[in-house]
Structure 1
Amino acid sequence: MTKTANQQAEIIRTERGLTIAGTRTSLYDVIDLLKSDYPPKLIRDTFNLTDAQIDAALSYIEANSVVVEAEYQEVLQTREEIRQYWEKRNRDRFAQIAATPHKPGQEEFWAKLEEKRAKRTAQHQ
């Protein structure tokens, strides 16, 4: 783990993985934004970090890039597996909700919504 001059760990390992000490922000969250081309100052502000915390995170990621990248790939795989699980589990429920008739008196609202959906679909094609 990375330590400061007073020997306090800046990056610690928790049950959620590598984390910035004193926060709930994982290095994988920071990497997500780095890969989305966020500048360090915006990442710092997004997670409400101090300059020292973001510097420690970036330094740790750079110094341990091979290990951190391997763990990050595992995290991405786990996220995808969880997403697929819940998508499959909720598929029937979403179909049931979609088949439920609309409440009486909301026909105008639903007509507007369908019109907007049609326009959005046409724009994306």
Structure 2
Amino acid sequence: MLKNPNLKRIGDSAPNSLDDKIKKGIDGLYENSNPPPKFIIDEAKYGTSELSKGAKDGAQMSDPWIKGSKRLEKQVGPERAREIERAMKKGEVDRVLSKIDEKGKVTTYKLDKQGNVTGPWP
């Protein structure tokens, strides 16, 4: 879960612990009250876990993967999903990978449209 006073979580609620049931899809979706960016899509990975490159609708966190399998719609409904997709086309969405180590330390990385790490975030 990204912690920033300007970010409001939209869609599904965040897990409270590592023991919570695992949900498939987008881990975190946030609206920024102080853009840019307008929205942030976050994927959390624990320990040595990596983003999937072999998903049927594209590499995890890539444009095709985010838009595929109705992932956005399942989080926020069709109307809001279209708003986020329009923002993606305009470059108003950050994709973030949150890596959580064994001690609980979170390091965040910015991802490109193909789901590749491009550097630290923010």
Pair in the same fold by TM > 0.5: no
Q: Give 1 or 2: higher strand fraction.
A: 2
Larger-Rg structure: 1
